[in-house]
Structure 1
Amino acid sequence: MPTNITCPEMKNGKPVVHVVNYTHASTALLFLFWISISSLFAIFWISRTMFKQKQFSQPRFLAIAVCSCDFLYAALCVSMQTANYFLGYCDSGGYHGCIFRGFSQTLFMMASRLMVMLMAVDRFIALRFPFKYQYLMTKERVIGAVAGLVFYAMLISCLPLMGVNSYGFQSWCDFHWNDRTIGGRFFVLFFVFEGFSCMIIILFCNISTIYELLSMKRVHPVDRSAKTDKENIKFIVTMTAISLYT
């Protein structure tokens, strides 16, 4: 159902007083702090590692891109939803705030998913085609791919603003999943297909990467320094946490 309530909210000729649901409000606030703080910590930690090494790292740059999308999602979407629980629909932006929240939510969730996919593809190429990696995944190409995917996510997110489906439905101001128009149905089907395709690519690349690592360990068992193992473990834990979290 649409949430574009007329502001100020009136009932029987009297203004409606917002009643705070502290269970929903506290849960949203906890969710907001968790995403914001964890994303900022990951951005700081990975950026610090790149700065100390004084070398551009494609995987770490992509991890920073994922965390940045998650942080912006929390800052622009979860914060408005939290304000909605505490202040009410009208005082937290009303109809226009709801539209902005729906647009931002679609944009940053899609962008984050695409960054995770690109990160998985990067690791897949690095292990399956190690001699072509520096040519295929150059600094300029990685940055260009990130910019291109963000632009693509922004373009798709703008479609409901241009009449293809619409934002402002349900409590999260999402787009209309039950839109009966041709354009609205196409948008929903495309959004589902795009998300499912990303999941398939991520799953394929991650399984292939793990299989390749296990094969390399069986065929070429070599001793490695404790420092190298520690750095690899730290990075693997970071990448795994980002993938699961997103």
Structure 2
Amino acid sequence: MRFTVLGSGTTVPDADRGPAGFLLQRDGAQVLIDGGGGTIQRLARAGVDARDLDGGVYSHRHVDHCGELVPLLFTLRVGADKPRQRDYPIWAGEGFAAFLAQLKAVYPGWLEGRQWSPRVTELPLDGPGEAPLPGGLTLRTLPANHAAGALHLRFESPEGGSLVFSGDTGPSQNLITLTRGADVLVTECAVEPNDPYGGHLCAEDIVQVVREARPKRVLLTHFYPGVNVARALALIAAEGVDVRRAEDGDVVEV
């Protein structure tokens, strides 16, 4: 599996970091993971035409994680030089199909084509979920401690590689469970301890995940301003794990 960081930022404007967005590739398949504003352009910068995507997985419905969905579907719709002839599959938590229906009502006829439609597979919010993905990948999910519809995501390859994306979440036993034995944990580190923001992780929370789940590598993303990044990296590295901060454009082989 090849994992590309398209956006390592947050809702806060940053010239070097876009909102959350990632790309997972294997065996010719290309799957988008989340996609805040600007994802289409950052895909192009990574050498990927958004019209060639094989589907998208969404951790939750907050705008900094799915704000590019409407522009993406519109791009698939109007790409006359590359007309899409297959459905665009989406995997997300329960409630996403209704969310998409609301978007389609706002833009009637513009978020699907004559020969394709976005098709949502919903994953449960009350327990584990599983779904096959393009490229022979498997998606496993557990509910996250965040907004309604939020999930932790684990991607597995037939070769045994595994990558977990926390999505946005507060402290979560489900994240520990899903991360056990993972090759890579990509996790938000949005806040400092005792921060008033709810539903997010600080470095101490990630230390607990690392201690119990023992991922081989940790990639930190989604820092809000005011977080002491150097302190977070040092605290987590003290657990004996390879940890670094994600940068837009990073590529991780799993």
Q: Which TM-score band (shorter chain)?
A: under 0.3
Which protein has greater RCO, CA pairs closer than 8 Å, 6+ apart? Answer: 1
Q: TM-score, normalised by structure 2?
A: 0.21
Judging by fraction of residues, say which structure has more helix. Answer: 1
Between structure 1 and structure 2, the one with the greater Rg is 1
Judging by fraction of residues, say which structure has more strand. Answer: 2
